[in-house]
Chains A and B, each alone.
Chain A
C-alpha cells in the first residue's frame, strides 16, 4: 500500500463547475499538507499549504484536512479551462521529506 493514495482520474468537468479532489494517507506523522498544480511538461507549482487539521481558503481554492480520518481535499470553485492540469497532493512530517500522491488529471471543458 502506498503512503499517499490519490485517484489519478482523469476528471472532466464543464466550465464553472466545482472540482473536488482528495487524497488519503497512512502515516500519522504527517503534519503539513500541500496541493501542487502541474501543467504538462512543467514543474509542480504550490497552490495551497495547510498545517494540521482545518480549512483554508484562497480565492477559488479551498483546502481541507481531516487528520482523524487521514483525508485531505481540494475544492476549486468556478473552474476555468486554465485550471486544466494535474493536481498533486503532498505531505510531510517534521523531516522535510515530501510524499506525493499520484496526481489527478483535471480537464475543464469550455
Chain B
C-alpha cells in the first residue's frame, strides 16, 4: 500500500458526460501528479500540482482539468468524454528527500470506461 488513495476505483459513464476523479496524497506529500494509462499510449503524464499550484502540464487535453485543494487532495475533471478517454487514471504523490531527489508513489488508480 503506497499510502495514496484514489476514488472511485471504477467508473462507467457515457460519451459526452463529465466525471471527477479524486486523489488523496500520502501524509506530508505536497506534490500530486496525474497520469493516464491506456493500452496504446502507455503511461502518460498529464499534470503536476505542488502545494495548490500547477507546476507542469503534459499531454493533457483541454477537456481535462485538475486542481489541488488547501488540504492537498486533488481532483481531475474530465468533460465531454469520448470513447478514447477510457483508460486507467493514476495519481501519484511525491516527497523530495536529500540526494535521492524526488520519488513518486502511485495510487491504485481509477478505471474509467466510456460507453
| A interface residue numbers (CB < 8 A to B) | 32, 36, 41-46, 49, 51, 88, 95-103
Contact = CB atoms under 8 A, between A and B. Distances in A.
Interface residues of B, number: 26
B104 interface: yes
Interface in B24-56: 31, 33, 42-45, 48, 55-56
B42 A100 contact: yes
A46 B42 contact: no
Contact of A97 (B4, B58, B101, B107): B58
A96 B56 contact: yes
Contact of B45 (A36, A41, A43, A97): A97
Given A98-B45, A100-B42, A45 B106 contact: yes
B108 A42 contact: yes
6 contacts: A41-B111, A42-B108, A43-B106, A96-B48, A96-B56, A100-B42
Contact of B56 (A42, A95, A101): A95
B80 interface: no
Contacts, number: 50
A60 to B, nearest CB: 21
Given A96-B31, A96-B94, A44 B106 contact: yes
B48 to A, nearest CB: 6
B104 A46 contact: yes
Contacts of B104: 46, 98
Given A100-B43, A102-B42, A43 B99 contact: no
Contacts of A43: 2, 4, 90, 106-109
A99 B35 CA distance: 11
Given A51-B101, A100-B43, 7 more contacts: A43-B2, A44-B90, A46-B103, A49-B103, A96-B31, A100-B42, A103-B43
Contacts of A51: 99-101
A88 B45 contact: no
A32 to B, nearest CB: 6
